[in-house]
Amino acid sequence: MDSYKIAAKLLQGARHAIAFTGAGISTESNIPDFRGTQGLWKRFDPRMASRGYFLEDPNGFWQFYAKRYEYIVGAEPNAAHKALSLLEEEGIIKSVITQNIDRLHSKAGSKSVLEVHGDIMMSRCDCCGEQVPTVECIKFYRDSGSAPTCGKCQGGLRPSIVLFEEPPDLIEAAFNIAHRSDLCLSVGSSLCVYPAAMVPEIVKRRGGHLIIINYDPTPLDGIADIVIREKASAALEAILKEFDGR
């Protein structure tokens, strides 16, 4: 039996399957990933996405985030996002846990989405928590050339996403879902950003199945039931074709 057939069988037999997604699922929507050949970290220093950099050089920080926002704001979900939304509609996938900040799962119609690294479309004051749409922050940055500040307390505004050196606040919720799940379909994640990458590991270590779809090898390939090195959309469409009754 080929990998797609086995993956379809495992998904159909799962009681509580979840999807875990990373930047690789959105590259086909023209949003660059981090570690791939065209990845962001080939052009930018990863430190630009850190809390330390935000505090030290807010203008440089916003220059980087204005660029990331630009990639994301016009992007549309691709066939891989749509396949996961369809799997949820059919009752197979119960939740999508994503490391992405691009909202594309929700745009594709997925209802139960946990964005463990936040959402770039909203920003907040780092001091008082006041919420501001990121589009306003970018406009301020572009018009004035300096980092936006809070209208209430003058604190620094930053996107409502998890920066390096910050704990992901929804990670406990993601772990709780992982503990209830018997299958994790990991799509487009290099599985090397911890603690988020513990999600598939938890599912596997408590006796569930792990299917990995990723173009490049990941550190969890050795414990996965199936590893598919293919583009996310092609792999998910091939799995959907193997489903009984189609």
- Residues labelled as active-site residues: 117
State which of positions 112-131 bind Zn ion (CB under 5 A). Answer: 125, 127-128, 130
φ/ψ bin of 241: left (φ > 0), alpha (ψ from -120 to 50), beta (otherwise): alpha
36 binds Zn ion (CB under 5 A): no
223 binds Zn ion (CB under 5 A): no
137 binds Zn ion (CB under 5 A): no
State which of positions 149-188 bind Zn ion (CB under 5 A). Answer: 150, 152-153, 155
Evaluate whether 95 touches 80 at the Cβ level (below 8 Å). no
**Which range in 64-72, 99-107, 114-122, 148-156 contacts Zn ion by CB under 5 A?**
148-156
195 binds Zn ion (CB under 5 A): no
Nearer to Zn ion, 89 or 136 (CB): 136
Least distance to Zn ion, CB of residue 147, Å: 13
One-letter amino acid at 124 equals R
135 binds Zn ion (CB under 5 A): no
φ/ψ bin of 163: left (φ > 0), alpha (ψ from -120 to 50), beta (otherwise): beta
> How far apart, in Å, are the Cα atoms of 78 and each of 8, 20, 82, 90, 172?
20, 16, 6, 19, 29
101: which 2 tokens? Answer: 């900040």
Which residues would be at the binding site for Zn ion (CB under 5 A)?
125, 127-128, 130, 150, 152-153, 155
